[in-house]
C-alpha cells in the first residue's frame, strides 16, 4: 500500500510542510506536487530529504511510497529476512562522474557518441536536458545495423526499458518534455513507469500503416507517441496548427463548416492528439539506412512544439540521425548516442541543404488555413477562401 510523502515525513499541517520545504531548499508547491500526485521525487530532492530525516533510508522511502522498481523488488525477494541491515542507502546516493567523454562526431551545436545510451546518460548531469525524444528498438527480432539482440525475453526487455527510462527522467529538466515512440503494447509498460515520476501530457496516436492486416486482430494502423512533462506543465509549448483538410482532386471541403467558415482561425486547425500526416520513409531519395527511419516532419513537429532555439535535445537511440539533423537545422543544441555505426549520421551532415529545403517546405505548410498550393486549386475551382467570405 502506498503512503503519502507528507505522512512518511510526519508533516501534519501547513506550517510543518512550509518549514520542512525551507530546510531542504525547495518550494512548498514542489513538495506538494510529489505528495499529491504520488510521484517519487528526483534524486537531488531525495538526498536532501534523507539529510534532514536521517531516521529514514531510501529503501524505506521507496517501499512506503509504493515505488517498487525491478531492482528493489529483486533485492526484497532475495534479502527479505534482513533487508534493513544490509541495505546501504549512502552507496545508492553516491554522485558519479558526470562528465561526457570525447564525442565521436560533433558540430557547433551537437555531440554524437558511438556508445550505449546507458553509458552516455550515466555521464550526464541531473536536470540538464530540455527535450528527450526516444525511439527504442521494438523487440520484434529486426536486423539493426548495430547487431543488437532485438528478441529479448519480455522480462529482460522491460527491465532494460526501466533502466534507460529512469536515466532519462533523471537528466530531464523541470518543465522538460519527453516523447517516446513505440508500439502501443510496449508504451503501456513505459507509461506505468513514467507515471510514477512525470506527468502524462498526451497519448498521441500516429496513423501509419506499414504492413498487411494481422489475422484475428484489429488492423494495427497507428504508433504510440507518449508525451510526458516533468512537473505540472511544460516549460515550452509552441502551439501548432494544420491546414484545413481538403479534397486532393478538386480542392473542395471534406467537412461542411456551414455558417462557421468565417470563424475558422486563419492560422489553421488546432493540432489534435491523432496525427494523420506522418508517412513512413520508403523512397530511396529520402531513406538513409536499411532499418526503419523516422520522417523529418515527425521530428520537426516534436522539436518545434516543445523547444526554442538554443534548448538542448537528447536522443538516446540515434538511428539514422533524424533528431540530430532537425535539431541542427532548427538551431537547437543536441546530444545523442547510437550503438551501431554512426557513419550514416555523419554522412547526412555533409550536405544539409536538401534537408533544410524539406524542413522549409514543412514549415511553410503549417500554421496556415490554406497553403499557397491549395489556395490556387480552390480559387481555380470556385471554392471559398478567407478573403472571399
For residue 179, pLDDT over 60 is answered with yes
| Residues 64 and 151 both lie in one domain | no
In the chain, pLDDT over 90 holds for what percent of residues? 63
* Lowest mean pLDDT across 11-20, 60-69, 164-173, 231-240: 60-69
Q: Is 261 strand, coil or helix?
A: helix
Average pLDDT on 237-244 reads 94
| Residues 314 and 326 both lie in one domain | yes
What are the pLDDT digits (tens) for 122-156?
999 999 999 999 999 988 866 665 557 667 778 88
pLDDT at residue 128 in the model: 97
In a domain, 11, yes or no: yes
In a domain, 198, yes or no: yes
In a domain, 148, yes or no: yes
For residue 319, pLDDT over 80 is answered with yes
For residue 182, pLDDT over 90 is answered with yes
In a domain, 356, yes or no: no
Mean pLDDT over each residue of the chain, to the nearest integer? 88
The C-alpha cell 506499414 sits at 210
| Residues 288 and 213 both lie in one domain | yes
In a domain, 343, yes or no: yes
Domain extent for 333: 105-236+275-350
| Residues 203 and 318 both lie in one domain | yes
pLDDT at residue 124 in the model: 96
For residue 268, pLDDT over 80 is answered with yes
Beta strands 333-337 and 110-113, pairing class: parallel
Average pLDDT on 256-279 reads 88
| Residues 243 and 231 both lie in one domain | no
Q: Which residue has the higher pLDDT, 38 or 294?
A: 294
Q: How many CA atoms lie within 13 A of 37 on its CB side?
A: 19
In a domain, 99, yes or no: no
pLDDT at residue 145 in the model: 59
What are the pLDDT digits (tens) for 344-377?
999 999 989 999 999 999 999 999 999 999 999 9
In a domain, 358, yes or no: no
pLDDT at residue 287 in the model: 46
Beta-carbon neighbour count of residue 46 at 10 Å? 20
Tell me which range, 78-92, 327-341, 366-380, is most confidently predicted by mean pLDDT: 327-341
From 92, 115, 143, give the residue that closes a domain.
Answer: 92
| Residues 200 and 257 both lie in one domain | no
pLDDT at residue 290 in the model: 46
* Lowest mean pLDDT across 57-61, 224-228, 318-322, 380-384: 57-61
| CATH code (residue 303) | 3.40.50.150
The C-alpha cell 560533433 sits at 106
From 67, 92, 117, give the residue that closes a domain.
Answer: 92
In a domain, 128, yes or no: yes
Q: Residue 173: CB partners within 8 Å, gap ≥ 6?
A: 127, 128, 129, 130, 230, 235
For residue 308, pLDDT over 50 is answered with yes
Q: Which residue has the higher pLDDT, 15 or 89?
A: 15
Average pLDDT on 294-322 reads 96
In the chain, pLDDT over 70 holds for what percent of residues? 88
Q: How many CA atoms lie within 13 A of 319 on its CB side?
A: 26
Average pLDDT on 278-285 reads 60
CA–CA separation, 217 and 313 (whole Å): 37
| Residues 279 and 305 both lie in one domain | yes
pLDDT at residue 96 in the model: 66
| Residues 37 and 146 both lie in one domain | no
pLDDT at residue 198 in the model: 97
What are the pLDDT digits (tens) for 198-207?
999 999 999 9
pLDDT at residue 59 in the model: 83
CA–CA separation, 56 and 45 (whole Å): 14
pLDDT at residue 256 in the model: 81
| Residues 297 and 263 both lie in one domain | no
Domain count, the chain: 3
From 92, 115, 140, give the residue that closes a domain.
Answer: 92
| Residues 185 and 296 both lie in one domain | yes
For residue 77, pLDDT over 80 is answered with no
pLDDT at residue 88 in the model: 58
Please report which confidence band the pLDDT of residue 220 belongs to, taking 50, 70 and 90 as the band edges: confident
8 Å CB contact between 32 and 25: no
For residue 82, pLDDT over 50 is answered with yes
| Residues 228 and 243 both lie in one domain | no
For residue 26, pLDDT over 90 is answered with yes
Q: Residue 206: CB partners within 8 Å, gap ≥ 6?
A: 181, 222, 223, 224, 225, 275, 278, 298
| Residues 9 and 74 both lie in one domain | yes
Amino acid at each position: 500500500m502506498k503512503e503519502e510523502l507528507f505522512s512518511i515525513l510526519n508533516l501534519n499541517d501547513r506550517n510543518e510542510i512550509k518549514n520542512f520545504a525551507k530546510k531542504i531548499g525547495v518550494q512548498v508547491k514542489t513538495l506538494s506536487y510529489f505528495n499529491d500526485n504520488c510521484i517519487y521525487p528526483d534524486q537531488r530532492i531525495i538526498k536532501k530529504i534523507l539529510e534532514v530525516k536521517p531516521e529514514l533510508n531510501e529503501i524505506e522511502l521507496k517501499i512506503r511510497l509504493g515505488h517498487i522498481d525491478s531492482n528493489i523488488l529483486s533485492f526484497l525477494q532475495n534479502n527479505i529476512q534482513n533487508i534493513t541491515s544490509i541495505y546501504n542507502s549512502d552507496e545508492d546516493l553516491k554522485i558519479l562522474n558526470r562528465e561526457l567523454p570525447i564525442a565521436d562526431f560533433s558540430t557547433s551545436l551537437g555531440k554524437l557518441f558511438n556508445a550505449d545510451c546507458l553509458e552516455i546518460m550515466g555521464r550526464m548531469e541531473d536536470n540538464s536536458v530540455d527535450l528527450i525524444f526516444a525511439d527504442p528498438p521494438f523487440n520484434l527480432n529486426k536486423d539493426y545495423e548495430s547487431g543488437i539482440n532485438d528478441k529479448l525475453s519480455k522480462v529482460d526487455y522491460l527491465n532494460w526499458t526501466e533502466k534507460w527510462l529512469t536515466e532519462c527522467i533523471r537528466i530531464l529538466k523541470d518543465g522538460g518534455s519527453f516523447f517516446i515512440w513505440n508500439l502501443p503494447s510496449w508504451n503501456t509498460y513505459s507509461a506505468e513507469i513514467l507515471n510514477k515520476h512525470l506527468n502524462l501530457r498526451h497519448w498521441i496516436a500516429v496513423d501509419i500503416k506499414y504492413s498487411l492486416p494481422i489475422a484475428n486482430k484489429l488492423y494495427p494502423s497507428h504508433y504510440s507517441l507518449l508525451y510526458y512533462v516533468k512537473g505540472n506543465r511544460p516549460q515550452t509549448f509552441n502551439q501548432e496548427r494544420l491546414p484545413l483538410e481538403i479534397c486532393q482532386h478538386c480542392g473542395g471541403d471534406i467537412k461542411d463548416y456551414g455558417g462557421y467558415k468565417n470563424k475558422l482561425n486563419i492560422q489553421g486547425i488546432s493540432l489534435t492528439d491523432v496525427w494523420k500526416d506522418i508517412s513512413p520513409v520508403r523512397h530511396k531519395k529520402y531513406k538513409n539506412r536499411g532499418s526503419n527511419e523516422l520522417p523529418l516532419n515527425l521530428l520537426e513537429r516534436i522539436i518545434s512544439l516543445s523547444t526554442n532555439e538554443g534548448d538542448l535535445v537528447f536522443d538516446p537511440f540515434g538511428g539514422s540521425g533524424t533528431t540530430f539533423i532537425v535539431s541542427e537545422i532548427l538551431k537547437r543544441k543536441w546530444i545523442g548516442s547510437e550503438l551501431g555505426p554512426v557513419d550514416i549520421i555523419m554522412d547526412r551532415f555533409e550536405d544539409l541543404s536538401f534537408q533544410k529545403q524539406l524542413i522549409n517546405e514543412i514549415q511553410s505548410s503549417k500554421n496556415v488555413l490554406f497553403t499557397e498550393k491549395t489556395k490556387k486549386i480552390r480559387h481555380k475551382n470556385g471554392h471559398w477562401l478567407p478573403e472571399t467570405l
